[in-house]
Amino acid sequence: MENIVARWRRELRGTFSNNSPTVPQWELDLEKGDDGGYFGPESAAWAVHGSMTTLVAGIQALLIQALHPGALAGVHDHSSYRTDPLGRLAGTIRWIFTLTYGDTAAARAASEKVLHIHDYIRGHYSTNTGEERPYTANDPDLLRWIHLAFTQAFLGTHQAYGGPIPGGADAYVADWAVAGALMRVDNPPTTVAGLRAQLAAFRPELRYDERVAETLAFIKDPPLPRSQRAGYKVLFAAAIASLPEEYRKLLQLEAPSLGPVPLPVALPTKAVLGVVHWSLGAQGPSELAARARRQRLGVEPAPRKRR
Protein backbone atom coordinates (compact mmCIF):
# COMPACT_ATOMS: atom_id res chain seq x y z
CA MET A 1 0.00 0.00 0.00
CA GLU A 2 2.84 2.39 0.85
CA ASN A 3 4.40 1.83 -2.59
CA ILE A 4 1.06 2.51 -4.29
CA VAL A 5 0.61 5.80 -2.41
CA ALA A 6 4.19 6.85 -3.15
CA ARG A 7 3.72 6.11 -6.85
CA TRP A 8 0.46 8.05 -6.95
CA ARG A 9 2.07 11.08 -5.30
CA ARG A 10 5.01 10.88 -7.69
CA GLU A 11 2.70 10.73 -10.71
CA LEU A 12 0.65 13.64 -9.39
CA ARG A 13 3.70 15.84 -8.90
CA GLY A 14 4.90 14.80 -12.35
CA THR A 15 1.67 16.01 -13.95
CA PHE A 16 2.38 19.56 -12.80
CA SER A 17 6.13 19.54 -13.52
CA ASN A 18 6.27 17.80 -16.92
CA ASN A 19 7.45 14.63 -15.15
CA SER A 20 10.47 16.32 -13.59
CA PRO A 21 12.01 13.92 -11.01
CA THR A 22 12.93 16.84 -8.74
CA VAL A 23 11.64 20.32 -7.98
CA PRO A 24 12.20 22.33 -11.20
CA GLN A 25 15.14 24.71 -10.95
CA TRP A 26 13.03 27.71 -11.91
CA GLU A 27 11.01 27.29 -8.72
CA LEU A 28 14.14 27.21 -6.58
CA ASP A 29 15.43 30.28 -8.43
CA LEU A 30 12.47 32.31 -7.15
CA GLU A 31 14.46 32.63 -3.92
CA LYS A 32 16.80 34.94 -5.84
CA GLY A 33 15.97 38.54 -6.61
CA ASP A 34 16.23 42.07 -5.30
CA ASP A 35 12.73 42.91 -4.12
CA GLY A 36 9.61 41.41 -2.59
CA GLY A 37 7.80 41.09 -5.89
CA TYR A 38 4.50 42.51 -7.04
CA PHE A 39 2.55 40.51 -4.44
CA GLY A 40 3.06 39.33 -0.87
CA PRO A 41 1.68 36.78 1.59
CA GLU A 42 -1.33 38.94 2.49
CA SER A 43 -2.31 39.55 -1.13
CA ALA A 44 -5.35 38.26 -2.93
CA ALA A 45 -3.08 36.80 -5.62
CA TRP A 46 -1.23 34.62 -3.09
CA ALA A 47 -4.51 33.48 -1.55
CA VAL A 48 -6.02 32.41 -4.87
CA HIS A 49 -2.93 31.04 -6.62
CA GLY A 50 -1.71 29.25 -3.51
CA SER A 51 -5.01 27.41 -3.26
CA MET A 52 -5.84 24.06 -4.79
CA THR A 53 -8.80 25.72 -6.56
CA THR A 54 -6.33 26.59 -9.32
CA LEU A 55 -6.74 23.00 -10.51
CA VAL A 56 -10.37 23.73 -11.33
CA ALA A 57 -9.57 27.23 -12.56
CA GLY A 58 -7.09 26.01 -15.14
CA ILE A 59 -9.72 23.75 -16.69
CA GLN A 60 -12.34 26.48 -16.69
CA ALA A 61 -10.00 29.08 -18.17
CA LEU A 62 -9.35 26.79 -21.15
CA LEU A 63 -13.09 26.29 -21.65
CA ILE A 64 -13.82 30.02 -21.67
CA GLN A 65 -10.82 30.94 -23.82
CA ALA A 66 -11.82 28.39 -26.46
CA LEU A 67 -14.99 30.32 -27.24
CA HIS A 68 -13.10 33.08 -29.03
CA PRO A 69 -12.27 31.91 -32.59
CA GLY A 70 -9.10 33.99 -32.73
CA ALA A 71 -7.74 32.62 -29.47
CA LEU A 72 -8.70 29.10 -30.49
CA ALA A 73 -7.07 29.48 -33.90
CA GLY A 74 -3.74 30.14 -32.20
CA VAL A 75 -4.16 27.05 -30.04
CA HIS A 76 -5.37 24.87 -32.90
CA ASP A 77 -2.69 25.95 -35.37
CA HIS A 78 0.35 26.31 -33.13
CA SER A 79 -0.13 24.75 -29.69
CA SER A 80 1.38 21.44 -28.60
CA TYR A 81 -1.50 20.69 -26.25
CA ARG A 82 -2.35 17.44 -28.06
CA THR A 83 1.19 16.05 -28.33
CA ASP A 84 2.71 17.56 -25.19
CA PRO A 85 -0.08 18.58 -22.79
CA LEU A 86 2.10 18.27 -19.67
CA GLY A 87 4.76 20.49 -21.21
CA ARG A 88 2.19 23.16 -22.02
CA LEU A 89 0.70 22.88 -18.52
CA ALA A 90 4.14 23.17 -16.92
CA GLY A 91 4.88 26.28 -18.97
CA THR A 92 1.64 27.94 -17.91
CA ILE A 93 2.26 27.08 -14.26
CA ARG A 94 5.76 28.54 -14.50
CA TRP A 95 4.42 31.85 -15.82
CA ILE A 96 1.67 32.10 -13.18
CA PHE A 97 3.91 31.24 -10.25
CA THR A 98 6.79 33.44 -11.42
CA LEU A 99 4.46 36.45 -11.59
CA THR A 100 2.85 35.55 -8.27
CA TYR A 101 5.94 34.65 -6.23
CA GLY A 102 8.97 35.98 -8.08
CA ASP A 103 10.61 39.38 -7.75
CA THR A 104 9.56 42.10 -10.18
CA ALA A 105 12.47 41.48 -12.56
CA ALA A 106 11.61 37.77 -12.81
CA ALA A 107 7.92 38.58 -13.38
CA ARG A 108 8.74 41.01 -16.17
CA ALA A 109 11.18 38.59 -17.79
CA ALA A 110 8.66 35.75 -17.69
CA SER A 111 6.03 37.93 -19.36
CA GLU A 112 8.42 39.17 -22.02
CA LYS A 113 9.37 35.55 -22.78
CA VAL A 114 5.72 34.65 -23.39
CA LEU A 115 5.20 37.76 -25.54
CA HIS A 116 8.27 36.85 -27.59
CA ILE A 117 6.87 33.35 -28.23
CA HIS A 118 3.54 34.96 -29.19
CA ASP A 119 5.26 36.87 -32.00
CA TYR A 120 5.58 33.59 -33.92
CA ILE A 121 1.96 32.55 -33.39
CA ARG A 122 0.08 33.99 -36.34
CA GLY A 123 -2.44 33.01 -38.96
CA HIS A 124 -6.03 33.73 -40.03
CA TYR A 125 -9.45 33.01 -38.60
CA SER A 126 -13.03 33.61 -39.67
CA THR A 127 -15.12 35.97 -37.54
CA ASN A 128 -18.83 35.54 -36.82
CA THR A 129 -19.56 38.06 -39.58
CA GLY A 130 -17.67 35.97 -42.15
CA GLU A 131 -14.62 38.23 -42.26
CA GLU A 132 -11.28 36.47 -42.74
CA ARG A 133 -9.06 38.17 -40.19
CA PRO A 134 -5.29 37.88 -39.74
CA TYR A 135 -4.05 37.49 -36.19
CA THR A 136 -0.99 37.19 -34.01
CA ALA A 137 -1.17 35.98 -30.43
CA ASN A 138 -0.05 39.45 -29.35
CA ASP A 139 -3.05 41.20 -30.93
CA PRO A 140 -4.48 43.52 -28.26
CA ASP A 141 -7.97 42.01 -28.36
CA LEU A 142 -6.66 38.45 -28.02
CA LEU A 143 -4.33 39.39 -25.15
CA ARG A 144 -7.30 41.04 -23.43
CA TRP A 145 -9.59 38.04 -23.95
CA ILE A 146 -7.04 35.60 -22.52
CA HIS A 147 -6.48 37.87 -19.52
CA LEU A 148 -10.20 38.31 -18.87
CA ALA A 149 -10.93 34.60 -19.19
CA PHE A 150 -8.08 33.75 -16.83
CA THR A 151 -9.21 36.30 -14.24
CA GLN A 152 -12.83 35.17 -14.42
CA ALA A 153 -11.94 31.49 -14.10
CA PHE A 154 -9.50 31.84 -11.21
CA LEU A 155 -11.77 34.20 -9.30
CA GLY A 156 -15.00 32.31 -9.96
CA THR A 157 -13.69 28.87 -9.05
CA HIS A 158 -12.04 30.17 -5.88
CA GLN A 159 -15.29 31.82 -4.84
CA ALA A 160 -17.07 28.51 -5.42
CA TYR A 161 -14.62 26.11 -3.79
CA GLY A 162 -11.96 28.10 -1.93
CA GLY A 163 -11.53 30.17 1.18
CA PRO A 164 -11.78 33.92 1.77
CA ILE A 165 -9.86 36.35 -0.42
CA PRO A 166 -8.02 39.16 1.40
CA GLY A 167 -9.70 42.39 0.34
CA GLY A 168 -12.43 40.51 -1.49
CA ALA A 169 -13.04 39.77 -5.16
CA ASP A 170 -12.13 43.28 -6.32
CA ALA A 171 -8.71 42.89 -4.70
CA TYR A 172 -7.97 39.80 -6.78
CA VAL A 173 -9.07 41.47 -10.02
CA ALA A 174 -6.88 44.47 -9.15
CA ASP A 175 -3.92 42.23 -8.28
CA TRP A 176 -4.11 40.32 -11.53
CA ALA A 177 -4.47 43.54 -13.49
CA VAL A 178 -0.73 43.84 -12.78
CA ALA A 179 -0.22 40.64 -14.79
CA GLY A 180 -2.45 42.04 -17.52
CA ALA A 181 -0.32 45.17 -17.74
CA LEU A 182 2.86 43.09 -17.90
CA MET A 183 1.29 41.22 -20.82
CA ARG A 184 0.56 44.56 -22.54
CA VAL A 185 -3.17 44.53 -21.93
CA ASP A 186 -4.31 48.14 -22.09
CA ASN A 187 -6.50 49.20 -19.16
CA PRO A 188 -7.10 45.74 -17.64
CA PRO A 189 -10.07 45.71 -15.24
CA THR A 190 -9.40 46.38 -11.57
CA THR A 191 -12.88 45.58 -10.21
CA VAL A 192 -15.39 42.77 -10.68
CA ALA A 193 -17.77 45.24 -12.34
CA GLY A 194 -15.05 46.22 -14.79
CA LEU A 195 -14.24 42.56 -15.44
CA ARG A 196 -17.86 41.76 -16.25
CA ALA A 197 -18.20 44.79 -18.51
CA GLN A 198 -15.11 43.92 -20.52
CA LEU A 199 -16.16 40.27 -20.81
CA ALA A 200 -19.62 41.31 -22.02
CA ALA A 201 -18.06 43.38 -24.80
CA PHE A 202 -16.64 40.17 -26.31
CA ARG A 203 -19.98 38.34 -26.41
CA PRO A 204 -20.71 39.01 -30.14
CA GLU A 205 -17.33 37.49 -31.08
CA LEU A 206 -17.80 34.18 -29.26
CA ARG A 207 -19.09 30.97 -30.81
CA TYR A 208 -19.30 27.20 -30.58
CA ASP A 209 -18.11 25.23 -33.61
CA GLU A 210 -16.29 22.03 -34.57
CA ARG A 211 -12.95 23.31 -33.29
CA VAL A 212 -14.47 24.17 -29.93
CA ALA A 213 -16.09 20.74 -29.77
CA GLU A 214 -12.74 19.08 -30.54
CA THR A 215 -10.96 21.13 -27.87
CA LEU A 216 -13.70 20.48 -25.35
CA ALA A 217 -13.43 16.73 -25.94
CA PHE A 218 -9.69 16.86 -25.25
CA ILE A 219 -10.11 18.94 -22.09
CA LYS A 220 -12.78 16.53 -20.87
CA ASP A 221 -10.57 13.47 -21.32
CA PRO A 222 -6.86 14.38 -21.37
CA PRO A 223 -4.17 11.66 -21.37
CA LEU A 224 -3.64 11.48 -17.61
CA PRO A 225 -2.34 8.50 -15.61
CA ARG A 226 -5.09 6.08 -14.67
CA SER A 227 -4.67 6.96 -10.99
CA GLN A 228 -5.73 10.57 -11.67
CA ARG A 229 -8.69 10.08 -13.98
CA ALA A 230 -11.43 9.73 -11.35
CA GLY A 231 -10.25 12.85 -9.55
CA TYR A 232 -10.00 14.76 -12.81
CA LYS A 233 -13.60 13.83 -13.65
CA VAL A 234 -14.67 15.54 -10.43
CA LEU A 235 -12.58 18.62 -11.18
CA PHE A 236 -13.95 18.86 -14.72
CA ALA A 237 -17.49 18.70 -13.34
CA ALA A 238 -16.55 21.41 -10.84
CA ALA A 239 -15.29 23.64 -13.65
CA ILE A 240 -18.57 23.26 -15.52
CA ALA A 241 -20.68 23.78 -12.40
CA SER A 242 -18.96 27.07 -11.58
CA LEU A 243 -18.96 28.38 -15.16
CA PRO A 244 -21.06 31.50 -15.69
CA GLU A 245 -24.30 30.26 -17.23
CA GLU A 246 -23.82 32.12 -20.52
CA TYR A 247 -20.55 30.30 -21.20
CA ARG A 248 -21.99 26.93 -20.22
CA LYS A 249 -24.81 27.45 -22.72
CA LEU A 250 -22.39 28.56 -25.43
CA LEU A 251 -20.31 25.43 -24.86
CA GLN A 252 -23.52 23.33 -25.04
CA LEU A 253 -22.77 21.76 -21.66
CA GLU A 254 -25.39 20.32 -19.36
CA ALA A 255 -25.44 20.57 -15.58
CA PRO A 256 -22.60 18.34 -14.34
CA SER A 257 -23.31 14.83 -13.18
CA LEU A 258 -20.97 12.50 -11.32
CA GLY A 259 -23.19 9.48 -11.67
CA PRO A 260 -26.55 8.36 -13.06
CA VAL A 261 -28.24 11.43 -11.54
CA PRO A 262 -27.03 15.06 -11.21
CA LEU A 263 -25.27 15.66 -7.89
CA PRO A 264 -23.91 18.75 -6.17
CA VAL A 265 -20.21 18.84 -6.94
CA ALA A 266 -18.93 21.12 -4.17
CA LEU A 267 -18.40 18.38 -1.58
CA PRO A 268 -16.56 15.86 -3.83
CA THR A 269 -14.58 18.73 -5.36
CA LYS A 270 -13.34 19.90 -1.97
CA ALA A 271 -12.53 16.29 -1.09
CA VAL A 272 -10.40 15.84 -4.23
CA LEU A 273 -8.68 19.19 -3.68
CA GLY A 274 -7.98 18.19 -0.09
CA VAL A 275 -6.33 14.96 -1.17
CA VAL A 276 -4.19 16.81 -3.72
CA HIS A 277 -3.25 19.37 -1.07
CA TRP A 278 -2.17 16.56 1.26
CA SER A 279 -0.09 14.99 -1.49
CA LEU A 280 1.66 18.15 -2.68
CA GLY A 281 2.17 19.73 0.75
CA ALA A 282 0.81 22.78 2.51
CA GLN A 283 3.21 25.18 0.80
CA GLY A 284 4.65 24.65 -2.65
CA PRO A 285 8.30 25.21 -3.58
CA SER A 286 7.46 28.53 -5.28
CA GLU A 287 5.86 29.99 -2.17
CA LEU A 288 8.63 28.70 0.08
CA ALA A 289 11.26 30.23 -2.23
CA ALA A 290 9.40 33.55 -2.25
CA ARG A 291 9.19 33.62 1.53
CA ALA A 292 12.91 32.85 1.81
CA ARG A 293 13.73 35.71 -0.57
CA ARG A 294 11.48 38.13 1.29
CA GLN A 295 13.01 37.13 4.61
CA ARG A 296 16.52 37.63 3.21
CA LEU A 297 15.54 41.10 2.03
CA GLY A 298 13.87 41.93 5.32
CA VAL A 299 10.40 42.48 3.86
CA GLU A 300 8.96 39.49 5.71
CA PRO A 301 9.88 38.35 9.22
CA ALA A 302 11.37 34.90 9.67
CA PRO A 303 8.93 32.36 11.12
CA ARG A 304 9.03 31.96 14.88
CA LYS A 305 10.77 28.88 16.15
CA ARG A 306 8.57 26.50 18.03
CA ARG A 307 9.50 25.94 21.65
pLDDT 10s digits, 159-174 = 999 999 999 999 999 9
Average pLDDT over residues 13-25: 69
| Band (109; pLDDT cuts 50, 70, 90) | very high
**In this structure, is residue 198 part of a structural domain?**
yes
CA–CA dist 148, 177 (Å, integer): 9
CA–CA dist 2, 29 (Å, integer): 32
**In this structure, is residue 303 part of a structural domain?**
no
212-247: string of b/e by CB count within 10 Å (b at 16+)? Answer: beebbeebbebeeeeebeebbbbbbbbbbbbbeeeb
Span 132-145, pLDDT tens digits:
999 999 999 999 99
**In this structure, is residue 64 part of a structural domain?**
yes
pLDDT, position 262: 45
Mind giving me the DSSP string for 245-288? HHHHHHTT-PPP-SSSS----HHHHHHHHHHHHHHH-SS-HHHH
**In this structure, is residue 46 part of a structural domain?**
yes
Pure H helices in 52-168: 54-65, 69-78, 85-101, 104-118, 140-161
Q: Mean pLDDT over all residues of the chain? A: 89
**Taking a C-beta distance cutoff of 8 angstroms, is the pair 266, 161 a contact?**
yes
Structural domain boundaries enclosing 242: 2-295
pLDDT, position 76: 80
**Predicted TM-score (pTM) of this structure:** 0.90
Give the count of domains, the chain: 1
**In this structure, is residue 305 part of a structural domain?**
no
Give the rounded distance of the alpha carbon of 72 from its chain centre.
16
Cα-atom radius of gyration of the chain, to the nearest Å? 19
- State yes or no: pLDDT of 259 exceeds 90: no
**In this structure, is residue 286 part of a structural domain?**
yes
- Above pLDDT 90, what percent of the chain? 73
- State yes or no: pLDDT of 212 exceeds 80: yes
**In this structure, is residue 304 part of a structural domain?**
no
Specify the higher pLDDT residue, 246 or 300. 246
CA–CA dist 211, 123 (Å, integer): 15
By the 10 Å C-beta count (0-12 exposed, 13-18 middle, 19+ buried), 306 is classed as exposed
Residue-level length of the chain: 307
**In this structure, is residue 215 part of a structural domain?**
yes
| Band (29; pLDDT cuts 50, 70, 90) | very high
**Taking a C-beta distance cutoff of 8 angstroms, is the pair 161, 177 a contact?**
no
CA–CA dist 49, 178 (Å, integer): 14
Specify the higher pLDDT residue, 264 or 72. 72
